[in-house]
Structure 1
Amino acid sequence: MTSEPLQTTSAPSRRTVVAAAGAVGAAVALTACGAQDGGSKASSKAGAAGTVLAKTSDIPEGGGKIFKDQGVVVTQPAAGTFKAFSATCTHQGCAVTGVGNGAITCPCHGSEFSVADGSVKKGPATKPLPAEQITVSGGSITLA
């Protein structure tokens, strides 16, 4: 009678499992945060062009409103003047969460951007918020 060699399958070591989990976690973190200051991230707007965002009366003068689903912030820096910018901070890709006192604010690291032109008012961001296209007609603000 011939005996065949016993085949064993060894499980990965604990060190291998922990190292792999760490690598996956780091990759997820880098993807979520984006490249620091200027990795070119495409704007990921959920809303399609032609989406009515708000009435002009919904946007406070000197402030603005964030449209999270569309990834856009609309401001009214002066009476009757409306601007739109990406709602993604240029520092590490966090979503901005506040608009007031002439600034759009990011909660992650405290960057502030001008409601008038998206320029950096306070770092650590060094690049302005990219402008987005809107049209204002008949009291409605529409994503262009």
Structure 2
Amino acid sequence: MTGTEGTGRNTSRRAVVAAAGATCLAAMLAACGDSGDASQPKEDSSAPDSGGDGGDAAGGAALAAAADIPVGGGKIFKDQKVVVTQPTEGEFRAYAAICTHQGSPLNEVSGGTINCPLHGSKFAIADGSVKKGPATQPLPGKKVTVDGDSIKLG
């Protein structure tokens, strides 16, 4: 083997190793840069709408009867991933029932807050704002309407 053959082979090996490393690094960076991480809920800056205006929810399926949502409390609908609250009589609000901290399902409405079992975050029933962390972002609002005695999402 001459010096030229050895150098050529080493250069080829280096090129292959470098190319493989670059491909691997590119794949890892692409995965890290994915902003669509399902564990982090998407932010919705729209404020929740109070019921009574009819809006575009006329075709929406009823979640519950208005009487089923306690004044000063609320109810979580796990299948729809939504929580409906009634901060004051006749005022209905709805929010995503997923904690903005790490995407855990919220599990309870009590004492004027919507609560997360994972790390103890609490959100206000009136506006979805953070009352106790570690969450720092409010719950995204959902449109809710009252049609007769039915609560509907719009």
What is the TM-score with the length of structure 1 in the denominator? 0.68
Specify the alignment match of 1:69 in structure 2: 79
Secondary structure, counterpart of 1:70 in structure 2: coil
Matched, 1:84 2:107: no
- Match for 1:135: what amino acid? T
Describe how 1:13-92 pairs up with structure 2 within 5 A: 34-35=39-40, 40=42, 50-92=60-102
Per the alignment, residue 150 of structure 2 pairs with: 140
Segments of 5+ residues of structure 1 without an aligned counterpart are: 1-30, 43-48
SS in 2 for 1:99: strand
> Equivalents in 2 of 1:41, 1:140: separation in Å?
27
One-letter amino acid matched to 1:60: P
Distance in 1 between the 2:65 and 2:129 partners? 25
- Distance, in Å, in 1 between the alignment partners of 2:100 and 2:42 is 9
**Are 1:101 and 2:111 matched, yes or no?**
yes
2:42 is matched by which residue type in structure 1? Answer: S
SS in 2 for 1:57: helix
Post-superposition shift, 1:134? 1.2
Matched-pair contact (CA < 8 Å) for 2:124–2:130: yes
User: How many residues matched?
Assistant: 105
Counterpart code for 2:105: A
SS at match of 1:40: coil
- State the secondary structure of the residue aligned to 2:79: helix
User: Structure 1 pair 119/41, CA: closer, same or farther in 2 (3 Å)?
Assistant: closer
What secondary structure sits across from 2:67 in the alignment? helix
TM-score by length of 2: 0.64
Gaps of 5+ in 2: 1-36, 45-58
Which secondary structure state, in structure 1, belongs to the residue aligned with residue 85 of structure 2? strand
Deviations 1:47-85 (A, max 9, x none): xx7121000000001100000000100000001100000
Shift of 1:40: 3.0
Matched, 1:119 2:129: yes
Query: 4+ runs of 1 displaced by more than 2 Å?
Result: 39-42
Higher relative contact order (CA 8 A, sep 6+): 2
The percent of aligned pairs where both chains have the same amino acid is 58
Aligned residue in 2 for 1:45:
none
Query: Which one has the largest radius of gyration?
Result: 2
Q: Which AA in structure 1 matches 2:119?
A: H
